[in-house]
Structure 1
C-alpha cells in the first residue's frame, strides 16, 4: 500500500514563476518579510517554494524510514513522533567513526581531559608491565583486555640445603634450619655447643630439640637415656644444649644424640 504524504512542494515545476536565487538572496524582504502593499507573485512563490520543499523532504524522509503516513491534519505530535522514529530507524545498525565526522576529533580533544576515565573501553591505549621484585619475582604485560596470570619464582628456593644438617626458606620469609647432634661425655650432665648450618641474618626465634631414645641399653650403657634443653639465649650462629641424665642415672662415659629445629629470619 502506497503511503500518503500530504506535504507537497509549492511552485516546484520547471516553469514556475519564482524569483531567481540571486535576486531572492539580495531582496530586503528575505530579511524583513513582505511589508504593507501587494507582494509580487514571483517573490511570494519563491518564499513558499523554499518552505514547502523542505517540509515535503522531511515528510518523505518519514515515509521512507517508517510505515507511517504523513497527514496534514494539524496534528504536530504525530508528525514529531514519526520523525523521531524515522531518525532512529536510519541510525540503527550504523557505525559512525569519529574520524568520519569533520573536525569532531579536534572538538572532542578540546573538551575531554586526557587524564580522565573512559566510560567504556576494550583495552588500555598503552600496555604496561607489572613486575614483582624481591624474594618472589615474576611479571606480566597488561593491556586491560582481560585477566592475566603471573608466573612467579621464589628466589630463596635456590638458597637451601636439603642435607641432614640443612636449611630452607618459607614463602613468608622465615629461615628454617635443622640438624643432628651426636656427642660423648663423662658424667650425668653436660653441655654441647651446636653451630647452625647457616647463620640467621637477623633473628633466631625458636629452637626445639627432639631426644633420640636408644632402642636398647640402660644405666651404664653407652646409649644412656638422656634429655636435652636449650641453655641460655641462642645466637645467630648457634646455641648451647644442656644434656641431663634422668634421676637415678649413673655417671660414666655416655653417648648422646638429638635432633633440633630452629626458626628465624
Structure 2
C-alpha cells in the first residue's frame, strides 16, 4: 500500500481542540493570532482544520495512483500525482473532457436515459439527420433549387413528395400554357391545380393535365369553349 506522510492532527476522541461554535466566533479566525497568547485548544483546532483536509486529499492520491505521498517539500510531484489521481478515475465518478462523455455511454442505456432526463433533452436528441422514418430533416432536405424568374419554384417534403409552382400567360392562339418544372417529377405527377387570374365576373375555365412529369400544361377557355389568349395563369403541382 502506498504511504501517506500527511497525517491529521488532533483527531482522537476528547482531543484538546476548541469547539466549532467558539472557533467560528473567534476574532483571530479572520486576522490570525497576533499579540498575546493563543490557547492550545485554539491552535490545535486551526492545525486540525488544515491537516485533516491535507491528509484526506493525500490519501485520495495514494489510493488512486498507488504512489507514495511524501512530505518532502516537492510540490511539483504532489501536483502531478493529484492530477494523475483525478484522471485515473478509478471509481468511475468523474467525467473527463478528453473522453467526450464516453463514461456515460459506457455506463449503459439506463445511465444514458438518466443523463438525458437530467439535461431535459427531448427525443430529438436521439434522432439523426435524414429523410427516412424516425430521422430529422434539415433545411437542405426541403430545397429544390433556386427560385426561378417569375415566381417559379418548389420544395420537397419529408414524405418524399415534391410541390412545384409557377405561372405565366396563355399563348396567343390556343389559350394553352406550358411551363417546364424546376425539376421533373422522378416518378409521377399526382395533381395539378390551375389558377386563372382574371377580373372578377369574367368567366374563365382552366383545365390541366397530369400526364407530363416534366412540365405543367394548362388550357384556358371562355364559357363558349374558345381558347383565351394572353390570360394570366398559375399552378401548383404535386408529385413524387
Q: TM-score, normalised by structure 1?
A: 0.42
**With structure 2 as the length reference, what TM-score do the two structures score?**
0.46
Bigger fraction of residues in strand: 1
The structure richer in helix per residue is: 2
- Larger radius of gyration, structure 1 or 2? 1
